[in-house]
Amino acid sequence: MDSFEWNKIIGAVLGTAIFIFVVRVVAEAIYEPERPAKPGYVVEGVVEGPAGGGAAAPAEEAMPDWGTVLAKADAAQGKATSSKCEACHDISSAKTIKIGPPLYGVVDRPRASIAGFSYSGAMKAKGGNWTYDELFKFLKSPGAYIPGTKMSFAGISRAEDRINLIAFLRSNADAPAPIPAPKPAAAAAPADTKAAAATPAEAGAKPATADAAKKPGTTGN
């Protein structure tokens, strides 16, 4: 086969490749799919981050009244939820260090306090104890609550699931953390002082008079 034939074969291959490339570019421009404004379904436990990357800050939510909710929490359901934690954490009394620190006795334990585990600088800087409120906020979205943490878990969005999990973690200890007293009920609204001080005339009653108070047949002397 002479060089002319080889040139024709090479030209045909290059021409075909160029044609395919052009068709692909044109097709992508014409048939570019439209992204829906709202996803068709939401995957539980997955938190979308902002366009620039990183975890989105969780919405502010009211803290539970732990003195009330812990008494009604389902610790058995919390134990089932803890299976999401056990891939990285040991929950047994052996307190084995895995990918994450052990969770036995974690409630009210100081942060970054397990010897031998390499905590992130962000976790060390946060300080404080793992109180009920702190666990509740952290478990919703670890990366958003403590940016820079090594914990890559997306979080648990349902408050009830977090309460049940915290109830289990509290019981999973040699000496469970104390349950705080329930918060006092909201004080009743003060009485309407104007209504309380209303005169008989304002209330629609006819004012009593000295004559009306007299008994029939008396002279008043």
Q: Which domain holds residue 152?
A: 66-171
Whether 188 has a pLDDT exceeding 80, the answer reads no
Residue 52 lies in a domain: no
Q: What is the mean pLDDT of residues 78-85?
A: 95
Considering the domain boundaries, does residue 156 fall inside one? yes
Give the chain's length: 221
Query: With contact defined as beta carbons under 8 Å apart, do 169 and 135 qualify?
Result: yes
For residue 149, give both structure tokens: 């943490």
Average pLDDT (170-196) is: 76
Distance CA 172, CA 152 (A): 23
The answer to whether position 194 is within a domain reads no
More confidently predicted of 146 and 203: 146
Chain-centroid distance, C-alpha 87: 21
Of 98, 77, 80, nearest in space to 89 by CA: 98
pLDDT of amino acid 22: 77
Task: Return the pLDDT at 210.
Answer: 46
* Residue at 128 is within a domain: yes
Q: How many structural domains comprise the chain?
A: 1
Residue range 18-36, pLDDT digits in tens: 888 777 776 666 655 555 5
Cβ atoms of 65 and 154 within 8 Å: the answer is: no
Q: What is the mean pLDDT of residues 118-143?
A: 96
CATH code for the domain of 118: 1.10.760.10
Global pTM value: 0.60
Helix axes of 132-140 and 159-171: crossing angle, nearest 10 degrees:
130
For residue 195, what are its two tokens? 């209504």
Classify residue 166: in a domain, yes or no: yes
Per-residue pLDDT band for 42 (boundaries 50, 70, 90) equals very low
β-pair partners for 74: none
Q: Does 183 reside within a domain?
A: no
Task: State yes or no: pLDDT of 216 exceeds 60.
Answer: no
